Amino acid sequence: MSFIPGAAGVAAQMPDGFTGLGMKAADAADANTTFTSVMTDVQVVSITAARTYTLPSTDISGTTVKKGREIVFRNRGAFDLTILSSVGNTVETIRVGYVRLRALQDAPTTAAHWSVEEVYEKYFHASAYTNLSDAGVKTFALIRQNESLTVRIPLTISGTKPNTARPQLAVLFPVRFRPGSDLNLVAWVQNNATTSISNAYAKTDGNLDFYTSTGSATWTSGTAAQIFESAVSYPLV
> Which tens digits make up the pLDDT trace of 112-162?
999 999 999 999 999 999 998 876 899 999 999 999 999 999 988 777 889
> Which tens digits make up the pLDDT trace of 64-122?
899 999 999 999 999 999 999 999 999 999 999 999 999 999 999 999 999 999 999 99
Residue, of 24 and 46, whose pLDDT is higher: 46
pLDDT at 16 over 50: no
- Backbone φ and ψ for 111, nearest 5 degrees, come out as -60, -30
pLDDT value at position 25?
76
pLDDT at 59 over 90: no
Pairwise CA distance, residues 163 & 218, whole Å: 9
Residue pair 38/10 in contact (Cβ under 8 Å)? The answer is: yes
pLDDT value at position 26?
83
For the chain, which domains are there? 25-120 (2.60.120), 128-235 (2.60.40.1830)
Beta strands in the chain, from DSSP E residues, in sequence order: 25-27, 33-34, 42-45, 51-54, 70-75, 81-84, 90-94, 96-103, 114-127, 129-130, 138-145, 148-153, 156-160, 168-169, 183-191, 194-202, 208-210, 224-227, 230-235
> Which tens digits make up the pLDDT trace of 26-49?
888 899 999 988 889 999 999 999
> Which tens digits make up the pLDDT trace of 176-219?
999 999 999 999 998 888 888 898 999 999 999 999 886 778 89
Model confidence, pTM: 0.83
> Which tens digits make up the pLDDT trace of 222-233?
888 889 999 999
Alpha helices by DSSP H, listed for the chain, are none
pLDDT value at position 82?
98
